[in-house]
Structure 1
């Protein structure tokens, strides 16, 4: 069951990063659900994130790794908070967390930019040019059955992010299939519908975490599922035991 996989991912996550979830609960559940659906469909591959900061989403991706997968993390520096959590990882898992302390424009990332990943998270610089550069360099890293997650879409503090996304995405071959709390999820056109349909089919099971309002909107060439979650509690730990 999907909820069992979500419960397992969350249990592993809080084992290492036990200072709370990294962003609003509906967004955390979206990550868990998408990673669980990839596992359910046996979608394999490495994960990449740029803009790591304290490692909230980085560790969400880390606990979803299979034994033959790794995660590439890109940030200008490794924060003390991230380093502290990373110390808790088992040696075998820690060896598959590859941290690159550099700009997303750095020449040393040239080989990584040629690879394909099942999940790519762009959350680095938030100026229009930063986002244009990151999409231009890394959107091509999304595997045919992979996902691209873009952060802070429609965020009033970062208008350049939205401008860059609407300018750059049409030429990538990726289309949105999910929008949850300022995070936009995209996939190649043939897979975007698959992910959206899987999410809709999973809604009855996901609603164990709270009532989920949802509808679709046309956006950037894709039919995009919008989630608005009315949660019974803000503590995911209180919800998961009943699904384990």
Structure 2
């Protein structure tokens, strides 16, 4: 397995496209897509093309990249139609194509329809990477799981989106059911996606851990799940900027501190002026006390400075 190729030039284009594709998953996609032998690529549920643009950037000569989505078409059943109408009402195939062609010269192969039709277009055992991000309904995700198992090579990798979100319990049930009953082997998880294979996960996990050890902006840990090991990966939090570093919140804090310091300084000056005035008044009163006080002061000075006799 080779190390990932740099795709930093794709980042601005991916950022411009609406959708949800977090930095950790971008890095993981790049790593998986840059590794392994020849094989086709597949995305079930592509929305406006945010992840598809990155996947297409790793398409090798001789490979085929297929995307499958309903786009603006009617869903095959009432529940799925309600889901797409609520969450993806602005999605059209034209918007996807425009976004994709703003980055790549040619479109991927597009299957405009439900993901249940994908096996009519993609050969069994032909794919090295599949991204499942279509319906969140259990019955449909279960079909997508079976389709992914069919089209993947033995060592191919599948990424499931929304495997743990509170609004997608159907995805969680279908994915973990595949782990417990269909031989799906998890490799790693991010906060949004689970990456797995129907092959042996150990070699991939070993290479991944070696790679993660060289990546300073990602943290990782290994959890033991019975006889399995699962790598958890996420982005490291950026350190707070130093004082004067241009951060607006920090500048506001420094401004407030300066105002407090200025107020305390004004208070100190006022108190000093009051003390000086009181001292001047007291000194004046002593000078007016008359000859008696003045003689007493001179007598006291003589007593202090007179040398003491021996014995």
Task: Provide Cα deviations, 1:138-191, integer angstroms capped at 9, x if missing partner.
Answer: 32211122101111011101111111112234443320010012200111342x
> Is 2:119 aligned against 1:105?
no
Shift in Å at residue 203 of structure 1?
Answer: 1.4
Partner of 2:231: 225
Shift in Å at residue 119 of structure 1?
Answer: 0.1
> Is 2:110 aligned against 1:83?
no
Q: Alignment partner for residue 203 of structure 2, among 175, 185, 194?
A: 194
Judged with a 3 Å threshold, the aligned counterparts in structure 2 of structure 1 residues 87 and 182 are, in CA distance, closer, same or farther, namely closer
Indicate if the aligned counterparts of 2:149 and 2:198 stay in contact, CA closer than 8 A. Answer: no
For structure 1, list consecutive stretches of 5 or more residues without a partner in the other structure.
234-244
Shift in Å at residue 211 of structure 1?
Answer: 4.7
In 1, Cα distance between the equivalents of 2:134 and 2:218?
32
Q: TM-score, normalised by structure 2?
A: 0.63
Indicate if the aligned counterparts of 2:185 and 2:197 stay in contact, CA closer than 8 A. Answer: yes
User: 1:1-244 counterparts in 2 under 5 A?
Assistant: 2=3, 5=5, 8-11=6-9, 13-14=10-11, 16-17=13-14, 19=16, 22-36=20-34, 38=35, 42-77=36-71, 78-91=92-105, 94=106, 97-106=108-117, 109-112=119-122, 114-190=124-200, 192-207=201-216, 210-218=217-225, 222-232=228-238
Indicate if the aligned counterparts of 1:153 and 1:184 stay in contact, CA closer than 8 A. Answer: yes
Judged with a 3 Å threshold, the aligned counterparts in structure 2 of structure 1 residues 52 and 147 are, in CA distance, closer, same or farther, namely same
In 2, Cα distance between the equivalents of 1:198 and 1:73?
28
Indicate if the aligned counterparts of 2:119 and 2:147 stay in contact, CA closer than 8 A. Answer: no
Work out the number of aligned pairs and report it. Answer: 217
Q: Greater strand percent: which structure?
A: 1
For structure 2, list consecutive stretches of 5 or more residues without a partner in the other structure.
72-91, 240-311
Shift in Å at residue 35 of structure 1?
Answer: 1.9
Shift in Å at residue 55 of structure 1?
Answer: 0.9
Judged with a 3 Å threshold, the aligned counterparts in structure 2 of structure 1 residues 17 and 153 are, in CA distance, closer, same or farther, namely closer
Partner of 1:239: none
Indicate if the aligned counterparts of 1:140 and 1:172 stay in contact, CA closer than 8 A. Answer: no
Secondary structure of the structure 1 residue equivalent to 2:16: coil
Secondary structure of the structure 2 residue equivalent to 1:83: helix
Q: Which has the higher contact order (CA 8 A, sep 6+)?
A: 1
Shift in Å at residue 101 of structure 1?
Answer: 0.4
Shift in Å at residue 103 of structure 1?
Answer: 0.4
Larger radius of gyration: 2
Indicate if the aligned counterparts of 2:162 and 2:193 stay in contact, CA closer than 8 A. Answer: yes
Indicate if the aligned counterparts of 1:22 and 1:28 stay in contact, CA closer than 8 A. Answer: no
RMSD of Structure 2 on Structure 1 (CA): 2.4
Shift in Å at residue 225 of structure 1?
Answer: 0.5
Task: Provide Cα deviations, 1:45-86, integer angstroms capped at 9, x if missing partner.
Answer: 010010000111111110001111121100012544322122
